């Protein structure tokens, strides 16, 4: 479960996979809120300790985040025994994520974020370079909003020529219900979003071709403070899923996440300390 635990830590600081509305807009807002929470509590370092299902410390697991003195840069390093260390740098301006950079196994990745005067994500540009092949792929996400600041659609433009329309369907309250990927007027993929009575996102769902039915990719539950208390993630590599339960301190900082497999057996846990 070591790689799974590492993936959990990375996921907790980033987005899910596939869903552009969630990845680009929801997850970026979560990242910005988390950053402001760390700054408010004057945190300059985060350490994660992983434990196996038998309560032993995961050998070789190392994850740390350091915030620069001026608060404009966050450096995350993570590694497992026998694996190269992954370094991710995140830069912030005006309490907003401005840039991420990482290098791993000869792949350099850089993401730039632009915002409107109202603080809405306007454009995201992802550049990925394979240093061995000396090739670069550039993907731009250009978001369009209505007068109320609600997202209407996004143009995903790959290498300046290949364009996909990401269209959002909303309800009367402005909640995004569906995300359609369209190319040449043909729907390529659809995601469905579900909410609870407090308008908190509970399910991200899509059609599973193997099972031939709609299956949630992610499911969320919340505590009384609106923090995610549980997240269930379907594993892409198998028919199973993993459920993570989260606890926080009185400041809202995450203290622990505990993972359980499909049979509800303990997979492991991660505990966080702050300095």
Greatest Cα pair distance, the chain, in angstroms, is 54
Q: In angstroms, rounded to a whole number, what is the distance separating the alpha carbons of residues 115 and 123?
A: 7
Assign residue 50 a region (left: φ > 0; alpha: ψ between -120 and 50; beta: otherwise). beta
- What is the pLDDT confidence band of residue 177, given thresholds at 50, 70 and 90? very high
- Mean pLDDT, all residues of the chain: 90
Kindly tell me if the per-residue pLDDT of 16 is higher than 70. no
Distance CA 32, CA 104 (A): 24
Assigned token pair, 238:
């198998």
> DSSP states of 101-152 as a string?
EEEETTEEEEEEEEE-TTS-EEEEEEEEEETTTTEEEEEEEEEEE-TTS-EE
CATH of domain 2-274: 2.40.160
Which pLDDT does position 170 carry in this prediction? 97
- Tracing tokens 């702050």 back to the chain, one arrives at 274
Q: What is the mean pLDDT of residues 169-185?
A: 96
Percent of the chain having pLDDT more than 70?
Answer: 91
What is the tens place of the pLDDT at every residue in 183-241? Answer: 998 999 999 999 999 999 999 999 887 778 899 999 999 999 999 999 999 876 666 88
pLDDT digits (tens, 9 = 90+) for 124-161: 999 999 988 889 999 999 999 999 999 999 999 999 99
**In 3D, which of 206, 235, 204 has the Cα closest to residue 220?**
204
- Name residues whose C-beta falls within 8 Å of residue 56's C-beta, 6 or more positions apart in sequence: none
What are phi and psi for residue 12, nearest 5 degrees? Answer: -65, -20
**Contact indicator for 248, 229 with CB cutoff of 8 Å:** no
Q: Please report, for the chain, the start and end positions of each structural domain, with discontinuous segments joined by +.
A: 2-274
Per residue in 30-88, pLDDT tens? 999 999 999 999 999 999 999 988 889 988 888 899 999 999 999 999 887 766 678 89
């Amino acid at each position: 479960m070591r790689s799974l635990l590492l993936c959990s830590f990375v996921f907790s600081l980033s987005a899910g996979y596939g869903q552009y509305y969630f990845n680009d807009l929801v997850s970026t807002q979560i990242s910005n809120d988390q950053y402001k929470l760390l700054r408010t509590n004057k945190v300059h370092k985060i350490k994660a300790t992983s434990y196996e299902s038998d309560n032993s410390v995961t050998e070789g697991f190392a994850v740390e985040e350091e915030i620069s003195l001026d608060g404009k840069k966050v450096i995350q390093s993570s590694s497992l025994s026998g694996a190269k260390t992954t370094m991710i740098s995140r830069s912030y301006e005006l309490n907003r994520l401005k840039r991420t950079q990482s290098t791993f196994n000869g792949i350099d990745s850089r993401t730039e974020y632009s915002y409107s005067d109202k603080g809405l994500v306007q454009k995201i540009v992802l550049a990925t370079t394979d240093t061995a092949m000396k090739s670069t792929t550039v993907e731009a996400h250009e978001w369009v909003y209505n007068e109320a600041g609600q997202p209407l659609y996004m143009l995903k433009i790959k290498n300046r020529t290949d364009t996909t329309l990401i269209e959002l369907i909303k309800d009367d309250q402005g909640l995004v219900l569906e995300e359609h990927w369209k190319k040449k007027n043909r729907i390529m993929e659809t995601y469905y979003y579900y909410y609870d009575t407090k308008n908190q996102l509970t399910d991200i769902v899509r059609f599973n071709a193997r099972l031939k039915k709609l299956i949630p990719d992610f499911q969320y539950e919340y505590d009384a403070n609106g923090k995610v208390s549980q997240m269930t993630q379907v594993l892409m590599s198998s028919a199973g899923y993993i459920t993570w339960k989260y606890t926080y301190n009185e400041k809202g900082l995450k203290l622990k996440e505990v993972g359980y497999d499909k049979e509800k057996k303990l997979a492991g846990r991660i505990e966080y300390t702050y300095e």
